Amino acid sequence: MSKTNMYSEAKTWSPFKGCGFDCKYCTSSFKRQAKRQKHRCGKCYTYMPHEHPERLLSIPSSPIVFVAGNADIAFCRPEFMRQMIGAIKNHRPKTRKTYYLQSKRPECLQPFLKLLTDDFLLLTTLETNRDEGYQQVSKAPVPSERYRQFLALDYPRKAVTVEPVMDFDVQVFADWLIRLKPEYVWLGYDSGKNGLPEPTADKLVEFVRLLTKAGLRVKGKTLRGHIIPGIENTQPEQDPLVTAVDALRQV
C-alpha cells in the first residue's frame, strides 16, 4: 500500500499488479520500481501482470482506495477481479470509502458493472483525442476507441485523467469529456522528459474554459507554473512533481 500524490486522501491497494501496455511515459518509473522489487517478487520486478491473493484482506484505511493502482486491471483474470470486488464488499470500514477502478481498456469493466455499488468510481486515461501516432506512445487502445469504450459503460460515476496531456483538438476533445459527464477531470503535463507532443498553455486555457462552462470540475496537477482559470489547484506545485504514474506505482 502507498499514498498517492495524484488523488487526495487516496492509497493504492495492490492484490493485482502489472501491465502490458508499455506506455512510453511509464518506462522510467518502472525501472525505478524494479530496483525496489527485485528481491521481493520477480513478477513485480518485471511488471508482469500477476496476483497477490495474500493482500486481499489488507484494504487500506484511507477514505479513497485505488484498487490495483500499480497495474492496469485489463490484464486481471475475471475470476480474480471478482475476488477483489468481493473482498471490498465484505470489508466493513468505520467510515464510507470510495474505490477507484481505472483502466486504459475500460471495456474490461463491463462484465462487473452489476457487481458494483455506488461507492465505486470508474476512471480511464485520455491523454488526447488524436489517434495518429499513438501506437508510438502506448499499446493501449487508441484514444478514440478508449473514449467509445468508456462512454458505452452504463455506470453513473466516472472520472477522467488527462495526464500526461498530449496535443489535441480543443473542441473535439472537450466535447468527448463533456459527453462522458465525469465527476471530475485531472489535467497535467508530462513531468518526465519523454518527448511527447504537448499543447500550448493557451490551448489548455481554452480547453478548461469549455469544460468548466459545461459544469465539469477540473483539477490541476503538473502545470509548470501556468495559471489556468477554472482549475482547482488541489496540490501545490513542486519541482518536479512526481507523475501520476510514479505515484501509483510506488509500493
Calculate the CA 148 to chain-centre distance: 17
In this structure, the dihedral spanned by the alpha carbons of residues 110, 3, 234 and 117, taken in order and rounded to 10 degrees, is 30
One-letter amino acid for residue 168 of the chain? F
- The per-residue pLDDT for 10 is 86
- Residue 240 reports pLDDT greater than 80: no
- Residue 38 reports pLDDT greater than 90: no
- Residue 104 reports pLDDT greater than 90: yes
Average pLDDT over residues 64-83: 96
Q: What is the pTM of this model?
A: 0.88
Residue 30: closest CA among 223, 194, 226, 159 = 194
Q: Which is more confident, 209 or 69?
A: 209
- The per-residue pLDDT for 235 is 52
CA distance 70 to 79: 19
Question: Which domains occur in the chain, in start order?
Answer: 2-249 (3.20.20)
pLDDT band at residue 11 using 50, 70 and 90 as cut-offs: very high
Average pLDDT over residues 33-59: 83
pLDDT band at residue 247 using 50, 70 and 90 as cut-offs: very low
pLDDT band at residue 14 using 50, 70 and 90 as cut-offs: very high
Average pLDDT over residues 165-184: 98
- The per-residue pLDDT for 105 is 98
